[in-house]
Amino acid sequence: MNITPEHPGIELRKRISDKGMNLAEFARSINVSSSRISELASCKRALTIDSAIKIADVFDTTPEYWISKQNKYDLYWKYNRA
């Protein structure tokens, strides 16, 4: 039984909300476009290393944490396409 890994955008959206920010405010705070964060938070875009570094700084995590979530998600969908 395979458990589908969560796209990192799902956790990102929750963490942004928990900080009391909207997506545009968060994007400005890390100096990226709001469309980049919006697409990531809606699981329509893959997380880049650059974004992982910036996100990790805000949430006191590591870039590796975020990249690992993206890699697990990508690998699952690569090998489990219906």
Q: Which domain holds residue 13?
A: 8-79
Residue 60 within any structural domain of the chain? yes
Residue 1 within any structural domain of the chain? no
Average pLDDT, the chain: 95
What type of residue sits at position 67? Answer: I
Q: Read off the pTM.
A: 0.91
Residue 65 within any structural domain of the chain? yes
Residue 3 within any structural domain of the chain? no
Whether the pLDDT of residue 82 is over 80: the answer is no
- Based on the structure, what is the number of domains in the chain? 1
Residue scoring higher pLDDT (81 or 57): 57
Read off the CATH number of the domain in which 25 is found: 1.10.260.40
Contacts of 58 (CB under 8 A, 6+ apart): 19, 26, 29, 30
